[in-house]
Amino acid sequence: MAAALSSVRLRKYGFIGAVLAAVGAIGFAVSRGFAWGDRISPLCIAMVVGGVLSMLYSPWVRLRARRRSSRYAVEGAYDITDDNIMMRSGSESGGIAWDGVAQVRDTPEFWIVYVGRMPATVIPRRLMSAEDAETLRAYMAKRGLLQLR
- Do 28 and 46 lie in one domain? The reply is no
Residue 4 belongs to some domain of the structure:
yes
The predicted structure's pLDDT at residue 46: 93
- Do 23 and 50 lie in one domain? The reply is no
Residue 24 belongs to some domain of the structure:
yes
The predicted structure's pLDDT at residue 7: 64
Q: What is the pLDDT of residues 98-134, one digit of tens each?
A: 888 888 888 877 888 888 877 777 777 777 778 878 8
Residue 84 belongs to some domain of the structure:
no
Residue 50 belongs to some domain of the structure:
yes
Residue 95 belongs to some domain of the structure:
no
Residues 129, 131, 134, 136, Cα dihedral to 10°: -70
Residue 140 above 60 pLDDT? Answer: yes
The predicted structure's pLDDT at residue 4: 47
The predicted structure's pLDDT at residue 19: 93
Domain range enclosing 114: 101-143
Distance of alpha carbon 7 from alpha carbon 21, whole angstroms: 21
Count of structural domains, the chain: 3
Residue 94 belongs to some domain of the structure:
no
The predicted structure's pLDDT at residue 36: 79
Residue 117 belongs to some domain of the structure:
yes
